[in-house]
Amino acid sequence: MNRWRELPLVSATLVAINLIVFLLCSFTGSLLYTMGKLDAWSVVVQGEYLRIIWALFLHGDVGHIFNNMLILFFLGAMIEKEVGHVRYALFYFLSGIGGNLLSLWCKVLTGDPSGSIGASGAVFGLDGVLLAMVLFSGRKMENVTLPRVLLMIFYSLYSGLTGQNVDNAAHIGGLTTGFLAGTVMCMFQRKRRKQ
């Protein structure tokens, strides 16, 4: 049973689903993008709330999906091993939803009609979970230190802020959501250990 816990089942499944959707997009043209991209009009006015989740599985090009899936698999596998499959999946989707909600809020405030796609809000959320674990879990993880995690987060944010066509609100929203969710988990775990 412990052997199954060690395997990155959720990370691998998420990567596989994203790759399958990307291949489908290459055959269907703009159809899936039109149906799933995150834009304020479709969600807020037309009530298509599932776009908040569907957009997490859409990517614009090979570079976009490669970067997100590479980080998702390796960082995700490490976190999944530490927290378990169910908590990991919960963190991933909470972060993605949190990132997309902040993105929507910013689009509404600024009147931005553009649509957003990609899993990077959820991936940034994993950075936030890892930061919370380093700060509050009270246990050491191999090769994971606070300076390394902060450097990784800083570099990721810097890349987004200096890039073009990047939804930085989704990144910040995902990072914040992941950090808060990870902090709550760490606090409960420490309380349980004390009891």
Residue 120 known to be catalytic? yes
pLDDT of residue 49: 96
Residue 1 pLDDT grade (very low, low, confident, very high; cuts 50, 70, 90): low
Mean pLDDT over each residue of the chain, to the nearest integer = 92
Residue 176 structure tokens: 């914040």
Q: What is the pTM of this model?
A: 0.92
Q: Which of 11, 116, 137, 171 is catalytic?
A: 171
Residues for the chain: how many in total?
A: 195
Whether 105 has a pLDDT exceeding 90, the answer reads yes
Which listed residue (103, 116, 120, 137) is catalytic?
120
Tell me what the mean pLDDT of segment 158-178 comes to: 91
Give buried/exposed letters for 75-107 (b at 16+ CB in 10 A, else e): bbbbbbbbbebebbbebbebbbbbbbbbbbebb
List domains and CATH numbers for the chain.
2-194 (1.20.1540.10)
Q: Determine whether 156 is an active site residue.
A: no
